[in-house]
Structures are given as structure tokens and as C-alpha cells.
Amino acid sequence: MADRDVQRKVNEYFQKADVILSDDEIQSIEVNDFGLNRLDELGLQLFVYINTDRYCAKEWVLFPRQTCPEHYHPPVTDGDPGKEETFRVKFGTVYLYVEGETTKHPKTQPPDQDRDYFTAAHEVVLTAGDQYTIPPNTRHWFQAGEAGAVTAEYSSPSTDDHDIFTHADI
């Protein structure tokens, strides 16, 4: 699927959550397959409202059962603990996995062929209206439920180029 088609599909999800974007904003929606070319399985689509040296605000979409691979946000400069982010779900369900006590019977799993690259195993289930704050430098990954998901993200500055992914092919 071409990026423009994906952007239109993402905008349909945004509309389900009453997120209204201009035509120019729709065209600036980022489509991330993390270089794996398996967007339906592993990917994330997002729109950045603002990202300054003080704070960042984004909206992102996961398609049904789409997974954002495990990663963490390390310190970038001296005295910086790394990116802290809060997810607030607006539509659908997000299965978030963070470092911590392993959930014995998780509600979802990463794609079979990639399982070795997903180590965070404490499950947090978020539905519309729920939010969760991920501490800096914490391994995490997330997957949408059957209906997909729309989530607002509020964070300290986003320095995506410095994110560390545990997947060997990213």
C-alpha cells in the first residue's frame, strides 16, 4: 500500500477518535515500517503536533493487531534521563508491555518470527480513556487490539534517531 493510501487510512482512524487534521497535516502523517517491510504486522503511523526542546505531542494509529517493536529511549545528553512518555488511548485497545514482573497469561503476543526481540513482558491493557506513563530508558512495545487503536502521546522531547530497538533488523 502506498504511503498516501496509508495516510488516508490513518486519517479514517483519527476521525473515529475525533482527531481532525487539515489536508496538509494528513499528508504529513508518518508511516513507519521500521525498515522491515511488514507494515501490517510491525509498524506505527503518527502525526506530530509539536516537538521542541521542552516537550512533544503526537497522535498515533496502530492498525488491527499491528505491533510497534520493542525499544527504549536512552539518555541523549548528560543529565538527561531519556524520554518519558504518557500514552492516552482515544479509540480501541492498546496492549502495552513494559519492563517489570512478567504477566503470566498475556492477552497478545508479538509476531512469532520476531518473538526473540521482545523481552518486556509486564502487560498493561489500555482502552479509550486510559493512560499510562512510561519512565525514561524503559524497554517497551505495544500492539493494537482487533479494532486498531488511536493514542495521544505526550512526552519530553522526542529524539527518535536515538531510540534503541531490540530487533536485530531495525
CA angle 49, 52, 56 (to 5 degrees): 50
Note the pTM of the prediction, 2 decimals: 0.96
Taking a C-beta distance cutoff of 8 angstroms, is the pair 128, 92 a contact?
A: yes
Q: What is the mean pLDDT of residues 45-71?
A: 98
Taking a C-beta distance cutoff of 8 angstroms, is the pair 42, 33 a contact?
A: yes
Architecture field, domain 3-165: Sandwich (2.60)
pLDDT of residue 1: 66
**In which band, very low, low, confident or very high, does the pLDDT at 2 lie, cut at 50, 70 and 90?**
confident
Instruction: Write the pLDDT tens digit of every residue in 99-138.
Output: 999 999 999 999 999 999 999 999 999 999 999 999 999 9
CA 129, 3, 23, 9 torsion-angle sign = negative
* DSSP alpha helix (H) spans, 17-157: 23-27
Q: What is the mean pLDDT of residues 89-96?
A: 98
Percent above pLDDT 70 for the chain: 99
pLDDT of residue 4: 93
Taking a C-beta distance cutoff of 8 angstroms, is the pair 73, 82 a contact?
A: yes
Mean pLDDT over each residue of the chain, to the nearest integer: 97
pLDDT of residue 115: 97
